[in-house]
Copies of this chain bind each other. A is one copy, B any other.
């Protein structure tokens, strides 16, 4: 079969661009987080509530991917921060080249935090490094506890697992502890937070993770700077 060598070639080329992006993020002090989930797990809703909670002086930007429509960019632009839609046509994931192209119109030195909302797909985006500091996988409580076992790659590669829509737990046959134990069978060190974009206080654990991740990133950048 000729598929594997070509797939390797595409992934190698993507990896080269991803390393360049990672270097640029390091130089500009930009924390890039790559959000991945099935369609409809709540990536955009989580980002909406996150942007709404941030001080207007926060230097945050969002790239949001979809096959078609700019619905998500329009939803996210309402909060006043820079947002761009990446429309992939038929492509089932974002790749480094798409990120590079869209970053060309921004000055990364002006961005401390960059959210990349990937195409809704629990499979393909896990293969494409975008130079991000962390991948974050979202799974909603309506989706079934065994998803980490069925889609192990993305849970293995993510630093954080956000269990979303926990306000719906009373209405669905979903055991959050089992889902989290399944994620830890795939990736024992994965961090986990539970979130709801609609319930009071439902964003706290996620926002606390985000604050800690941002602080750790800044500290590491300062140490790296002082030894250079």
Contacts and interface: CB of A to CB of B under 8 A. Distances in A.
Interface in A167-189: 167-168, 171-173
A120 interface: yes
Contacts of A142: 40, 140, 142, 165, 168
B92 A124 contact: yes
Contacts of A151: 39, 67-68, 120
B149 A69 contact: yes
Interface stretch (A2-10, A76-84, A201-209): A2-10
Contacts of A165: 142
Contacts of A120: 38, 122, 150-151
Interface in A1-20: 2-3, 6, 9-10
A108 interface: no
Interface of A: 2-3, 6, 9-10, 38-40, 66-69, 71, 90, 92, 119-124, 127, 139-140, 142-144, 146-147, 149-153, 165, 167-168, 171-173, 198
23 contacts: A3-B10, A6-B6, A38-B39, A38-B40, A38-B120, A39-B122, A40-B140, A40-B144, A66-B150, A67-B150, A68-B150, A68-B151, A68-B152, A71-B149, A90-B153, A92-B121, A120-B150, A120-B151, A121-B121, A121-B123, A121-B124, A142-B165, A167-B171
